[in-house]
Amino acid sequence: MNNTQNQPTATMQSISLIDGIFTPSDASDILNAMLTKKINFHNLQIMRIKEGNHDDLCTHDATRLNKLKAEQSRLKEILDEVRSQGKKMNIQSTITIEVLD
């Protein structure tokens, strides 16, 4: 008897998000938009948490926010260097999604 309905689904999935060759300007548009979106997400999370509890330090979100801002600064340095060399960039990004219980 073939019972495919009871088969477990894969718990890991991946999405190819970025895959191509870009000018520094195009790379900047794409990558900064993503970083800015994540920074805004964590800022909003911190505001929501603090709204409910002014004493909460939001350590996780604040730490992640600082890391993202540092990465955005690092990205600017990389883009400036590539731009000054007149080169393009090959960018690959895959998002891995793991379903948890």
Cα separation of 31 and 54, whole Å? 33
Examine residue 24 and state whether it is found in any structural domain, yes or no: yes
Cα separation of 50 and 36, whole Å? 21
The pTM of the full predicted model, rounded to 2 decimals, is 0.77
Overall domain count for the chain: 1
Examine residue 60 and state whether it is found in any structural domain, yes or no: yes
Residue 3 has what DSSP assignment? -
Examine residue 22 and state whether it is found in any structural domain, yes or no: yes
Examine residue 101 and state whether it is found in any structural domain, yes or no: no
Examine residue 6 and state whether it is found in any structural domain, yes or no: no
Examine residue 2 and state whether it is found in any structural domain, yes or no: no
- Tens digit of pLDDT for each residue in 5-21? 555 566 899 999 999 99
Burial of 31 (0-12, 13-18, 19+ CB in 10 A): buried
Examine residue 3 and state whether it is found in any structural domain, yes or no: no
Residue 39 belongs to domain spanning: 16-85
pLDDT surpassing 90 at residue 51: no
- pLDDT higher for 64 or 83? 83
Examine residue 33 and state whether it is found in any structural domain, yes or no: yes
Q: What is the pLDDT of residue 48?
A: 81
Cα separation of 39 and 7, whole Å? 39
Q: What is the pLDDT of residue 14?
A: 96
